[in-house]
């Protein structure tokens, strides 16, 4: 049998990448969800990259609630540009010189003092090149986080599958026990019905062929051969599904409903204490399997 690639929807991954001045940290957390629900939190000023981040996430996830957080730290001085408004500084100097002359006081201004006057030093924030500079670095951190999360999901998926296949084996053995009981039970019901009819119709002449047909019809209501055959088919299909590539959670969830349908039919057809006990065990196992399947992508 080939290696199973079933993934859990629960996982965590972290990635880091850096350039000459900044370090990008990415964290990915995922939990089970019926559909794909992605929540992305980017630093201020990087919102235009959200679609690219979302596309990267969708390449790794088909279902689940995914939270992706991006942080950036480092030196941003390369994005700050300072310039001097020399004409305004000259006007400040001339104005203050005129005040000093009219008041008869000294006026000795330093460059530092001039720089403190409004709008003499002009600070401009440059825009980063998100496409050519930021994304190549950030995408590496995102991919590392998603890959790490995938690895954790695969490891948990393997554990889930081992548990599910173990439960499936138990389920299959229980079905075999029911199958072993059925022939004797059907024969017993057939005999009981025949004796009952003969007692009720002791003095009534009936066509023996018609009597046999009626007995067979009544006995057929307790025959669960078809249900057992379908359960065996479902068991084989379950085993095939877990070997498939891609998402199988929904398929398995639907298949468990079909399992339950057949088990309920068996329980309703056969009024027998031993088989009732076995069908209760089957239903209990199916519920445990269904709970596990809810976390499979």
Domain ranges of the chain: 11-77+129-154, 86-119, 155-293
What is the model's pLDDT at position 167?
Answer: 94
Instruction: Using pLDDT thresholds of 50, 70 and 90, give the confidence band for residue 2.
Output: very low
- How far apart CA 260 and CA 293 sit, in angstroms, is 15
In the structure, how many helices (H) and strands (E) does the chain have? 8, 6
Q: Residue 172 is encoded by which pair of tokens?
A: 């299959």
- How far apart CA 56 and CA 59 sit, in angstroms, is 5
Q: Which tens digits make up the pLDDT trace of 241-267?
A: 888 877 899 999 999 999 999 999 998
With a cut of 70, say whether residue 23 has pLDDT above it.
Answer: yes
Q: How many CB atoms lie within 10 A of CB 118?
A: 8
What is the model's pLDDT at position 263?
Answer: 95
- Cα-based distances in Å from 234 to 103, 227, 228, 257, 296: 103, 10, 10, 10, 18
DSSP state of 69: E
Closest residue by Cα to residue 294 from 257, 244, 249:
249
Instruction: Using pLDDT thresholds of 50, 70 and 90, give the confidence band for residue 272.
Output: confident
What is the model's pLDDT at position 258?
Answer: 95
Q: Which residues contact 253 (CB under 8 A, 6 or more apart)?
A: 290, 293, 294
What is the model's pLDDT at position 133?
Answer: 85
Mean pLDDT throughout 34-60?
Answer: 94
Q: Which residues contact 179 (CB under 8 A, 6 or more apart)?
A: 228
With a cut of 60, say whether residue 155 has pLDDT above it.
Answer: yes
Q: What topology does CATH give the domain 11-77+129-154? A: Ribosomal Protein S5; domain 2 (3.30.230)
Q: How many CB atoms lie within 10 A of CB 45?
A: 14
Q: How many CB atoms lie within 10 A of CB 211?
A: 14
Instruction: Using pLDDT thresholds of 50, 70 and 90, give the confidence band for residue 199.
Output: confident
Q: Which tens digits make up the pLDDT trace of 203-235?
A: 666 566 666 666 666 666 667 888 999 999 999
What is the model's pLDDT at position 35?
Answer: 92
- Decide which of 81 and 68 is more confident: 68
Instruction: State the burial class of residue 217 (Cβ atoms within 10 Å of its Cβ: 0-12, 13-18, 19+).
Output: exposed
Q: How many CB atoms lie within 10 A of CB 99?
A: 11
Candidate ranges 59-63, 195-199, 207-211, 222-226; pick with highest mean pLDDT: 59-63
Backbone Cα Rg of the chain: 38
Mean pLDDT throughout 99-110?
Answer: 76
Q: Residue 251 is encoded by which pair of tokens?
A: 């398929």
Cα maximum dimension of the chain = 147
Dihedral, CA of residue 275, residue 276, residue 280 and residue 282, to nearest 10:
30
Q: Which residues contact 96 (CB under 8 A, 6 or more apart)?
A: 107, 109
- Decide which of 192 and 34 is more confident: 34
What is the model's pLDDT at position 216?
Answer: 64
Averaged pLDDT score across all residues of the chain: 86
- Decide which of 8 and 268 is more confident: 8
With a cut of 50, say whether residue 290 has pLDDT above it.
Answer: yes
Q: Which single residue is written with the structure tokens 């199916």?
A: 286
- How far apart CA 174 and CA 197 sit, in angstroms, is 34
The pTM of the full predicted model, rounded to 2 decimals, is 0.74
């Amino acid at each position: 049998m080939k290696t199973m690639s079933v993934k859990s929807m629960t996982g965590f991954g972290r990635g880091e990448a850096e350039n000459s001045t900044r370090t990008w940290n990415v964290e990915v957390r995922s939990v089970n969800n019926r559909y794909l629900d992605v929540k992305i939190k980017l630093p201020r000023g990087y919102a235009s990259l959200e679609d690219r981040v979302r596309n990267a996430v969708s390449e790794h996830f088909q279902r689940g609630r995914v939270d992706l957080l991006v942080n950036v730290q480092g030196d941003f001085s390369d994005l700050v540009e300072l310039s001097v408004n020399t004409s305004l500084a000259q006007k400040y100097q001339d104005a203050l010189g005129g005040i000093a002359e009219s008041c008869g006081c000294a006026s000795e201004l330093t460059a530092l003092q001039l720089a403190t006057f409004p709008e003499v030093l002009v600070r401009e924030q440059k825009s980063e090149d998100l496409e050519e500079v930021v994304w190549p670095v950030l995408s590496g951190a995102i991919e590392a986080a998603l890959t790490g999360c995938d690895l954790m999901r695969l490891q948990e998926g393997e554990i889930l599958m081992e548990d599910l296949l173990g439960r499936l084996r138990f389920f299959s053995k229980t079905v075999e026990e029911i199958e072993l009981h059925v022939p004797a039970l059907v024969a017993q019901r057939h005999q009981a019905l025949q004796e009952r009819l003969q007692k009720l119709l002791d003095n009534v002449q009936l066509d023996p062929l018609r009597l046999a047909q009626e007995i067979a019809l009544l006995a057929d209501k307790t025959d669960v051969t078809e249900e057992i055959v379908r359960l065996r088919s479902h068991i084989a299909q379950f085993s095939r599904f877990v070997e498939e590539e891609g998402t199988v959670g929904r398929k398995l969830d639907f298949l468990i409903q079909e399992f339950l349908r057949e088990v309920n039919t068996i329980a309703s057809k056969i009024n027998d204490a031993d088989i009732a006990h076995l069908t209760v065990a089957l239903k209990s196992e199916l519920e445990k399997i269904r709970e596990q399947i809810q976390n499979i992508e």
